[in-house]
Every structure is written in C-alpha cells, then in structure tokens.
A and B are shown apart, each in its own frame.
Chain A
C-alpha cells in the first residue's frame, strides 16, 4: 500500500470539508442553546422539543412521509415491471424507443418535469394535494428504480425461470417464487432510493403541491426566507439522519448482493 502523501491528505480534507462542513455546522447549531444562529451559547436539545410542538412542521412531516412511502412503493412496482419487460420481453415495436424514454427523466431538468406535471394536473382538472405529489414523485423515481432493477435482471440466469415453468409454475408464479426473491435486494435498494429521492425533493414537489398539502422541504424553504431558526436546523438534522440511514442501507444491500452474486458466479465457474 502506498502511504498517504501530504498532497493526498490535503485534497481529501478539502474535498470532505466542501461536502460536509456546511452540514456539520448545521448539525452543531441545531444543538445550540441560543436562538441566534451564529452564536454558540451551550448545548441543548430544546429546539427538538419545540419542533414537536410545531403543528405546521409536524403536518408537513407527515405529508412528506406519506408521500415518500406511497410514491416509492408505487415507483418500485412500476419500475420493476418496466425493467422486467425491457430486459425479458420479446422484441416489440418501439422497444428501443421505450427503453430510451424510461431513462429520460434521469437527465431531464427537474423544473421541466415539475412544470409539465403541473400543466398535466391543471389540464385534467386534478386538485393539487397529497395525491398529485405522490404521482409526481412516482413518475420521476420510477426510472431510478427501473435502472437499478434492470441492471440486476441483465445478469439473471434465464434458465432459472424456465426451470420454474418446467416444474409447473405459471409465468406469474415463476416471477413471484423465483425471480422476485432472487432480485429482491435490488428491488429493496430501488425502493430506498425512491424513498430518499422523494424525501428531499423540493423542485418537483413545489409544482405538484397545493395549498392543502405541503411537504417538509417546501416548508423549510419558505420558513428560511423569513430567517433561519434553530428549529429548522433541528428539523434538517433529522432529515439528514433519515436520508443517511436510507442511503447507507441501500448501498449495503447492493454491496452484499454484489458479493453474493460474485460468489455464485465463482461456484458456477468452478463446476463449468
């Protein structure tokens, strides 16, 4: 192993500082006794307590959680189905177009996605609220899920499904009993990804949200315009914690899955 040179140490420090210093400051000040954001007056958790009494924030948090759970679940179902059809399906007319289109939202500017959804909701006369946010988040999270799941399906041994059919499964049973359990880790990390994407989305949610429902990021954003309060810091810290846990779990699952896959491939190679 090469030792870390001073150059490496410096660039590493700078990199991490850029990435995490703002968040660290935010987390630290969420435990500040004083109401003044820039002056440290001792450790306290009182802002977290105060947060619990703030109806508006709690409402927004509840909406956000509901939206995240529903939209990520819906996105996972749709994304998995799309991935399955794209990887497994017979050639059908327009398949290339379809598979290209499913990835388009990945590169589409969020403002445009949000705006077009807004126009759609107005066009079909849908009242903006929790449901429209769920739909909007499902739309953009679905392609992330389908990317994660289809990359797993590409390496999935087709003969396993054939073996299931051969042993008497209907095509749906083969999917439920064999394919799904084996690709489950990819599906779960897809869900977690969709969940965290939904939690911290501001742009698309602002287009899709109406007066009846506001998500936490929207609430924070509008609160901050009136001035940063330690309460917001506390709230943000909680969100950082949730997102961190989600991302770490997702990457652990996919890493574990990669290790298992490698091991399976090795044993297969040894006998081949």
Chain B
C-alpha cells in the first residue's frame, strides 16, 4: 500500500481526532444541527461547505466550546469535551470578524494566548517571532490592528490562533473579507502553513471553489445535516445527490425514468418525442424508478454535424454564449425547451469561433460522462 496517500478516513484502525456522535443543537424550537455524526482525522484540512444559515458556524462554536450540543457528544482525541470550557480546550479559533484586540499591538495580540499559559518570557518571544515570520508580519509587530490592512489583519488573526500550537484550528470563513486575488494567495499560504505545522484545520466556507482548493475532505451541509462527506474530486465527480451536484460547480440535471438495459447500464426516458439517454451507473435503479441524470457542462461536446459514435446525442439551437476568457459556456435550447449547458475551451480567437447565436448544433456525451442520481 502506498504510504504517500493521505486518507486516514479509509483506514479503520485510525482513531479520529474529532468525533461528533449524533449531535443535535436546538435554539429554542429551531433545530440548527440535526442528529449529525462526523469523524475528522488528525492533520486533515477539513472543509464545511453549505449555504448561509445551514449551521456551519454553530458546528465551529460547539468545537470551540461557545455552544454545547442539546444532544449527543463531541470527542476530541478520544475525550468527551462537551463539559470542558473554551479556555481549557486545546482548540483555537480564527474568528470570522478576526476579533483582534484593538488596544494591543500585533506582537501582544499574538503573545496573548502564550502569556495565559505562563510560559517563560523568552519562550514567548521566540514563539511570537516565529509566528510573525510564518505569516510575514515582522515589519508590523509594533503596530495596532487599526494601522494595518485587511489582509494583514487576517494574517494576524491566523498567527494568533496558531501561536499556541493547538491540536485543532478552526477557521470560520477566514477569507471572506479578501478580494479574489488575495484570497487565492492566502489559500495557498494556508495550505502551506497547514503542511508545515501539521495542525488539523477545520475551515468553514460558503465558497465551493475555496473548499475544493484547500481541503482534504469536504462536508456539504444543508439545514443542519450532512449531505455528503468526501474528497473534493469525489464530491465533484461522484456527487451523491442532486443537491450536492448542483451546489458544487455547474451541472445539467435531466429528470427521467430509468430502465435497465444490461449490467450497470440504464436507459433514461426523459421525453416521449426524444430518444432515451444511456448512462452507466454503479448504483442500482429498479425498473421504472425516477432518476436524475447529472452531466457537467465540460463533458458535453458541441458539433455542427451529428457525431457518429457518441452514446447520447441531441439537437438544439444556441440560445446564449457566455465568454469567460479561457472557456465559453454555450446554452443550447432543445426543441422541447429544455436548456443544456456545454463548455468548451477557447483555443481559438473569438472571431474564429464556429458557432454563434441561433445556430443549430448537436450536443453529445458518452455513457460514462453523466452520473445517475435518485434525488
């Protein structure tokens, strides 16, 4: 077995660092977290992804100790931590608002947690310098938080939460306040720091691209429940539900009725006046079951002539073209009004493009391009 693949979640002998067991959190009669169980392993970079209000912050606050579950237990390194107050947990949190202490310098902000441990002065100074260097803030050590930029403040918040070398670092939408370019740089920086320090990171985000970039595993949440927990590529290539497929990236969803045509092979009747689609699926579907075919736009080919060898072909007219620089998305309307998106790389200049609005085109994809879902 190759030792280089980091996948402790596949190893049954591995003990999880964090274990949520049937955790429910209610605020009054509103259920924010609903009977949720989840294992997170040491050295993971775990992303919680979901729409606003689905309970991501609540999960973090339970890990940090600011909220306690109404039901169930939370274990950290094998110990139930529900009754441990926040100041006694080997967990640090980087707040969504950064929560830097305005009356202290950057240096003192970073030293704040170390001083609470009553460590020797020299140790504290060494550790602070190390953190300043790691986050490239040496020049700003003597400034107050209001004297530095947003991006620098975000790095101070990170340095402060890392300084105590926690077992677990919680990052609540840490990059929400940054512009796109700075955000991407910081994502790589975070991954770098995570690798260097070996800390377990749990990051909250509502940006699916960010989750895909940084995480070893992603948990997609909806209304206080986990919908799917998997590696980013598994989430993207093999979503387990229409909700996940739709939430992560762009996707065409076609509803139909499945019928088997061979082992693992299905015919999807989706319109009476059109030939059925064919798709392979590991997941079994009973005869006549309702199903959804999910196909990523980049897996749909577009051509002027009907291709000979494709498993699925369908004709339509170009309704809209979205030019995104490196790629273009074509929205093609079929005769019955269904719209399908196809994405192609822009290897040629715009003026040389072969299709334009109102053109009649053929869309095609293979029988393994789509994924068959039951809801």
Contact = CB atoms under 8 A, between A and B. Distances in A.
B9 interface: no
Interface stretch (B42-50, B99-107, B363-371): B99-107
Interface string A24-39: 0000000000000000
A227 interface: no
Contacts of B150: 270-271
B164 interface: yes
Interface in A130-162: 157, 159-160, 162
B112 A164 contact: yes
Given A168-B113, A168-B116, A270-B150, A159 B97 contact: yes
Contacts of A264: 102, 146
Contacts of A170: 87
Nearest to A271: B150
Given A263-B146, A264-B146, A163 B95 contact: yes
Interface size class of B (residues with CB under 8 A): 20 to 34
Contacts of A263: 146
A267 B177 CA distance: 12
A19 interface: no
Interface in B47-102: 64-66, 85-87, 91-93, 95-97, 99-102
Contacts of B99: 157, 159-160, 162-163
A263 B92 CA distance: 28
A57 to B, nearest CB: 43
Contacts of B96: 159
A169 B101 contact: no
Contacts of B100: 163
Given A159-B99, A178-B101, A181-B103, A166 B146 contact: no
Given A157-B97, A178-B101, A167 B177 contact: no
B217 interface: no
A165 interface: yes
A182 interface: yes
A162 B92 CA distance: 11
A270 B116 CA distance: 32
Contacts of B65: 165-166
Contacts of A178: 101, 103
Contacts of A168: 87, 113, 116-117, 164
A166 B101 contact: no
Contacts of A177: 112
B160 interface: yes
A168 B90 CA distance: 9
Contact of A167 (B66, B97, B113, B149): B113
B153 interface: yes
Contact of B92 (A167, A268, A271, A272): A167
Contacts of B66: 162, 165
Given A160-B101, A173-B116, A271-B153, A165 B146 contact: no
Contacts of B116: 167-169, 173
B57 to A, nearest CB: 11
Interface in A252-272: 263-264, 267-268, 270-272
Contact of A166 (B86, B149, B153): B86
Given A167-B116, A168-B164, A169-B116, A162 B101 contact: no
12 contacts: A160-B102, A163-B95, A163-B100, A165-B87, A166-B64, A166-B91, A169-B87, A169-B116, A170-B87, A263-B146, A271-B150, A271-B177
Interface of A: 157, 159-160, 162-170, 173, 177-178, 181-182, 263-264, 267-268, 270-272
Interface of B: 64-66, 85-87, 91-93, 95-97, 99-103, 112-113, 116-117, 146, 149-150, 153, 160-161, 164, 177
Given A164-B101, A165-B86, 19 more contacts: A162-B66, A162-B93, A162-B95, A163-B93, A165-B65, A165-B85, A166-B64, A166-B86, A166-B87, A166-B91, A167-B87, A167-B113, A168-B116, A168-B164, A169-B116, A173-B116, A177-B112, A178-B103, A270-B150
